[in-house]
Amino acid sequence: MRIHFGTFTLDSETRQLISEAEGDIRLSPKAFDVLFALAERRPNVVPKADLHARIWPGTFVVDTSLNVLIGEIRRALSDTPLQARYIRTVHKVGYAFCAAAVELAPQAASPSAPTRCWLVWNDQTFRLSTGDNIIGRDPSSNIWLDASGVSRQHARIQVTNGSRGAVLDDLASTNGTFLRSVRVAGPECLTDGDVIQVGSVNLTFRMWSADTPKKTDRIPRRHA
């Protein structure tokens, strides 16, 4: 939950109190819990007993401990007991969050990190672009391999920016495509360092991405 009030945003997921002017403001874990409990139940008064039970469950503590946390919160918010803008003291009862506040919509998920892929053959490097990359003996192929055993359109590597990263598929080649020494029978996810055998050529697949799949990932084979 993200709650905005004044020039502050309170984020329960990241456990941050963020000021528009100062950025991230440090609060001790218990002070953060108290502030969030008050903001969550605004504008109701939260009895001291409820705060004690939430912050120190099953433990007896004196009111001074809670007072220290309230003081820490007020310093972080530049608030004062006499001119309370955010935390109001209700004597002999508890505390209340007294500022106008709104709950913000969840933040959109970050886009997938870009995937950068390439193939290495001896001293040659073939950069792979997003989408389909055809490997073959045809000079119009994206990765042109003029070598024995390579079909005109031998294999395809599809590169995406999603969690799959890059996928290898054979294009009904005469001699087959091999991944990790196993003949490819359907789409296979590639991982950094994989060796792809196309005819007499061994290609090393390289990939950099924050979303690189693990070597155990596989795509279900297609059925005719």
Cα gap 150→123, rounded to integer Å: 19
- What are the Cα distances from residue 119, in Å, to 105, 152, 203, 208? 43, 18, 6, 12
pLDDT for 107 equals 60
pLDDT value of residue 209 = 55
The DSSP letter of residue 102 is E
pTM: 0.48
Say if CB 211 and CB 166 are below 8 A apart. Answer: no
- Burial of 80-115, coded b for 16+ CB within 10 Å and e otherwise, reads eeeebebbbbeeeebbbbbbebeeeeeeeeeeeeeb
**Which pLDDT belongs to residue 114?**
57
Running along the chain, 224 residues long, what does each successive block of 10 average in pLDDT?
Answer: 91 88 87 94 93 86 87 94 93 93 71 72 88 91 92 91 75 94 91 93 83 45 45
Provide the pLDDT for residue 78.
93
pLDDT, residue 97, reads: 95
Contact 115, 160 (CB under 8 A): yes
Which segments of the chain does DSSP mark as H helices, in order?
Answer: 29-40, 48-55, 63-77
Q: What is the pLDDT of residue 58?
A: 79
